Amino acid sequence: MIYSARITARRTEAAGIYTFTMRFVDNDVRRAYSFKAGQFNMLYAFGVGEVPISIVSDPADSENLEHTIRIAGRVTGVMAGWKVGDVVGVRGPYGNGWPVEEARGRDVVIVTGGLGCAPVVGLINYIFRRRDQYDELHILHGVKTPNDLLYRERFDEWRRAPRTKVYLTTDKPDKSWHYQIGVVTELFDELTAPPSSIVMMCGPEVMMRFAAQTLRHKGIGDEAIYLSMERRMECAVGLCGHCQYREHFVCKDGPVFSYRTVKQLFGISNI
């Protein structure tokens, strides 16, 4: 069922990327709604269509939902025109979310690449709001150009936090760039997380595959590496088949999978 939600705030993260805060119009829906870190909603532009968008706000505040949208097509192009006060459609939540319970008491390594960092922003905020429940937090993020770096202020804030290390890199630096140069997997040379760490990553599949293999060589097991495989989702309930990988549906069985499961889906060998 599609529920109506009113946009209460709009923030520009970068050119063509916006974060919308919205609130369900119906009080009963607002009170009953709940979600887990890493789940997504289907956002609906009335008369145009819907797209899957990760929830980046905290599950503790399910009444005020935040979604970061990158304008990349017909439907999101219409969403770019959304403004405060507009009423939009929300269907969800869907997906299985990040293994935040399993991560308690362990070092957490978060790896992102490109513009795919939105699904882990909610995860990072989730951990910070419950900081005493987790050990060291390592955030590794790679972008093509400095202009692709979203959430600049948040990265600076995270870097200043205790028991937190932030690693940033870019392929094509400019004079304003003061961090590492190269692809995100090169940051693993600086990573000090122990083999008992749990890893959660999101970004291009090629990047995640190489990152997972590098982390395995550092002693982190397949079962402790989780990937968000967000692509080709259309219906969110496993009916249309667009996101099917063998017996799995990304929208219904994911989007978060352990690396062990992903290796089986793609036939990746142990290297």
Across 158-167, average pLDDT = 94
Per-residue tokens: 240: 């249309």
Segments of the chain assigned E as strands: 3-14, 17-24, 40-45, 49-54, 65-70, 87-94, 108-113, 137-143, 164-170, 180-181, 198-202, 225-228, 244-245, 248-249, 256-258
Indicate the CATH number for domain 3-94: 2.40.30.10
Residue burial 156-187, b: 16+ Cβ < 10 Å; e: rest: eebeeeeebbbbbbbeeeeeebebbeebbbeb
Domain boundaries, the chain: 3-94, 108-266
Cα separation, 153 vs 18, whole angstroms: 15
Confidence check: pLDDT of 130 > 80:
yes
Which fold is adopted by the domain 108-266? Rossmann fold (3.40.50)
Q: Do domains 3-94 and 108-266 have the same CATH topology?
A: no
Per-residue tokens: 60: 């503790």
Across 128-150, average pLDDT = 91
Q: pLDDT tens-digit profile of 175-231?
A: 889 899 998 888 998 998 999 999 999 988 888 888 998 999 899 999 999 999 876
Band of residue 271 on the pLDDT scale cut at 50, 70, 90: very low
Band of residue 243 on the pLDDT scale cut at 50, 70, 90: confident
Percent of the chain with pLDDT over 70: 97
Confidence check: pLDDT of 93 > 90:
yes
Q: pLDDT tens-digit profile of 164-190?
A: 999 999 999 998 898 999 988 889 989
Confidence check: pLDDT of 36 > 60:
yes
Q: What is the mean pLDDT of the chain?
A: 90
Band of residue 266 on the pLDDT scale cut at 50, 70, 90: low
Across 49-77, average pLDDT = 92
